[in-house]
Structure 1
Amino acid sequence: MKSFFKKKRNKRIVIGIVVLLILFIVLPRILGSLGDRQANMDSQYTMVSASNKDITVTLSGTGTLKPADSYTVMSLNSGDVISAPFEEGDVVEKDSVLYEIDSSNLTSNIETAEISVAESQRSYQRMLESLDDLTVKAQNAGTVMDFDIEVGDSVQVGQTIATIRDSKTMTIELPFGADDASHITVGQQANVTISGSFETLGGIVSEVSPIVSVLPGGMQVRQVTISVANPGGLLPTYEATAVIGDYACFESATFKYKAEGMVIAKASGDVAKVFVREGDFIAKDASLIVLDSTTLQDQIQSAKNTLRRSEISLESSQDALDGYVISSPIGGTVIEKNYKEGDTLSAGNPLCTIFDLSYLSMTLYIDELDISQISVGQPVTITAEAVEGKTYAGLITKVNINGVTSGGTTSYPVTIRIDEIEGLLPGMNVDAEIVIESRERVLAVPVAAVVRGNKVLVKTSGEETTNSDTPVTDAPSGYKYIEITTGISDTNYIEILSGLNEGDEVAIENRTVKDVFMFGRPGQNDQPSDGTGVDTP
């Protein structure tokens, strides 16, 4: 029995020794392996703290500088240059004379055209005046006699239309002695005696002739005209004598109507209107008829057309003359002069080029996803490799909605103006940066720390194995993901609106850190899909 128990105790001792060997040899290795694995895990990440940063969101691009305005002056005419009073590099004012071209041949053409216009104007004016002849008027007041015109009748030039007779007043012209007539005055009363009936009528002297004539027998006389109101029966066939004061006429004479004239047509045409009838009394210059003449209207239109053609010819010659004196269309600097005084040029050749360098401009093409953030009046920072260490202030002056599509992407031209241009020249390539948004001292972490779904990776405490609020299954051992709310971002940092506090540490995979600092954040020039300004891996 003693031997049995001894053997059993020895067996237990051996087992204990084995267990101790396991505890002292195997367990440290196991624990070491676990420690090495955690150490390796920690070595894959860099911990950074959330801190306050200034973040500025910008859009940038390149472009070529252009002058404020430019113009290549072209020759419209051929000829010899007789004056070109400027040189390359000169600053010229708008409308200042650049070139004068010999125009001697054109001057004679203009004179001929002016003569043609004057002749055409006179011809057209005569035609217009003849248009008045279509209305036939009375040359004196009186009774319409011998009138038998009706609407529709044809009238020819020179045709007698009517006779206008003033029979209410009769006149008689009687010879008085030359000495006696010198004492007779216009307006003086006269007694007129009708031969045969010896009826006496009162009259008034209307005219005393200054001309002395001699009657048969040698008597010198002067003719005195007397107006007599017609009582209704006087006719031009009646004879009479007269006494004016103490003076009597030497012989009798016959009466005449005070006014009697024939109305003659001055134009041909068809009678369109009739205003009087035979026997009507009509005033001087009153209308009798109106003619309609298609021929005359055609002649007037033809004369008008001829006048206009002459005017156009003159205008063309004058415009051509203007082309022989060439002025600057803009104010600016002459950068190229192709012809000088004495040269012979041909029409259509460029004479000189002028740049307005009062400011420079450039066009920047903005992607369709960013164009909504651009507006007129935004400031722009300009830099040029040709001018090291200097920045220029630009201003957006135009956002063109006529986009340019290439490769399925549309971009829109934005015009930028630069006023202070010392050191800059047209044609230089420059970089432009537009500040979209800027915030100072906001809580931020590196952009690389934010992963898909707006989460950051943080270490867990010893007691927890996962994030109970936001459970995930792909967090590395010893770490967990927490959700955050982000704001604006630039190429390096992103604003944290919620989910972290200042000083909180987040993990960044060392490969990501290396990529960011060596090559820039992957996809940093691409538009993020979630619109936060952050690219998700």
Structure 2
Amino acid sequence: MPDLTQVTEPQAAPEEAQPSRPTPPPSRKKPAGQGRKKLIKRLIALGVAAAVFGGGGFALYRFLNSSDDTLGEIYATPAFIGTIQSRVSGQGNAKAKETAAITLTQSGVVQEVFVTSGQTVMAGDPLYTIFSQAAEDAVKAAKDNVTEAQKRVSDAERGVVTAQRAVPAAQEALERQKSDLVKLNEQLAKLNEELTELNNSKSDLTVRAPRAGKILKHESFTVGKDASPGPVCTIADNQTMKLSLYYSYAYESSIYTGQKAQVSIPSLMKVQEGRVEQINRVNFISPEGGTFFEVVVSLSNPGALTKDMAATATMTDSDGSDIYPYADGKLDYAETWELELKIGGPVLSVNLSDHALVTAGQALLTVGDKEIKDKIEAKQDEIEAQKESIKAKEKEIKTQQEEVIPDAKEGIKTAQEAVETAKQGVADAQQKVEEELKKLADFNAVAPIDGTVTSCAIEPGQEVKSGDTVVMISNTVNMLVTINVTDQNIAFIKPGNTVDLVDWNDNMFIGTVTSIDMSKVESDQGMTTYPVTLMVENFDGSLMEGTTMRYSFVTSQSDDCVQVPTACIQYFPDSEGNRCAVVFVQRDARPDDVPELEYPTFEPGQKRTFPTEEEGYYPVIVETGLYDTQNVEIKSGVEAGDNVFVNYTVTDYSGW
């Protein structure tokens, strides 16, 4: 069963706790006139009784259902210091730690019985003796089968040696053929590399933009005319600019890579944010004798920035002051690329214009080269011929394997399989001997575990048959209880922890966590649970197998904390509509920090559930923590000793 069935001990405070009636306070002095009111009510009661006897049922009904608007006396109590706990609980079932049953596999006749039901035994104690001729015969037959199986192994191993003698020469020839095949494959790999180089050269016939950017300058090309290898164009990354400036070594520890910088561009009358991309600790000396290091600032280009624009950049020091460079610098493109044509040829297409924007991979210049195509075709023909040579060699190897090796190799394989089969036969026969010996031991059985004989179904002279369960033993000294703990609470329990257990008769036990099976996760209606095994000492035998156990353990605890009764907590919205937990605290005078709260309005006949300032109680917004069935932890807002409002009590005179 899930462990979170009912919280029986302190637990985490909910968002809202409904006020509940506390234990009545100590006797108080009655208000003046109380005795007279009580006398009047008694006289009324006598009148009601007379009305009942006189058939005045309707008058009695109206009397009993009349409302009383009296709130009663204020019941208050001081906040106190104490310990509060949150616990979870659930149920599990007890079972014996170990149980052993002895079941016969052959028929026989009981000779002696040494135990009775309810007797305590130790592991190794004799239980009974049964004579079974069938079990004796089964052991002998199993041993004979082992001897025969061992002979078959020897015969199969001699067959392997015979088959292996015919293989070496054929294997050597096969290895030579394989070596030739390796060389052919190496030659093919080399041809493929040469073809790749030619294809790469073919790709060089088209000059492409490596990244998005802008063409700064380009050479002149004409479609149909030959172009020689050489420069094609210069492309710049126009999306990112960089600015190189020099700063005094006095700011060496104040400037770091990634730091924000405010870049000022006078020509645009604009300040733009950048970041320190690189710091070069050079030794630049100004004419004034100052020593400076280089800082490279990068900034995005919204479109209006270009190379050689004057700019400067400032950073902010740790004390909030600005860090200025020695002098202004000039903007530059973050990166430029010089593109070249590697292979000459007739121009097929041109897509070059100064200041044109290009995208990554865009074709800028394409030339043709029939000679490269012819070389590629020739190399492909050479590769196909090499592949045919490889196929022929593979066929030769296959033929060699089929003509020379197959019989010998198949003979080895068959002989080896025969050996393995024979060895498995020996293993099976030996296992059968062990099984029959174990079965025979069941006819002269000893207790396999410490425990109590829970069942003994034999007596001397009795005939038994295969399949009869004759003795059962259970170890009840140590019992196991399996509980299911939810994923919300599994973190609060681990091996070695103790868990409180109570049986149906309220007998208390202590369970020790021995294992948490994280692999056997069970989910039901969105709740995940983990089986947890507890071990319980049961030396006196009072815990019976199958008993349902209630468990509980602590999930959280607060020590030396301020607490108030649960009924003290009420909830009201503040002026901004935020829902607040509130406690009404008694004060001699109105505090300065009384919160503004929106109180509910009450219909006629409804009773107010909180005190007023006229009664000497003022609202305090509190932060709550853990709570149990009676009290709540107060983390802030109320101090120990503060007298807090609980509720209005019904006095002797406000109800008869």
TM-score by structure 1 length?
A: 0.49
Structure with larger Rg: 1
Q: Which has the higher contact order (CA 8 A, sep 6+)?
A: 2
If each structure's strand is expressed as a fraction of its own residues, which one has the higher value?
A: 1
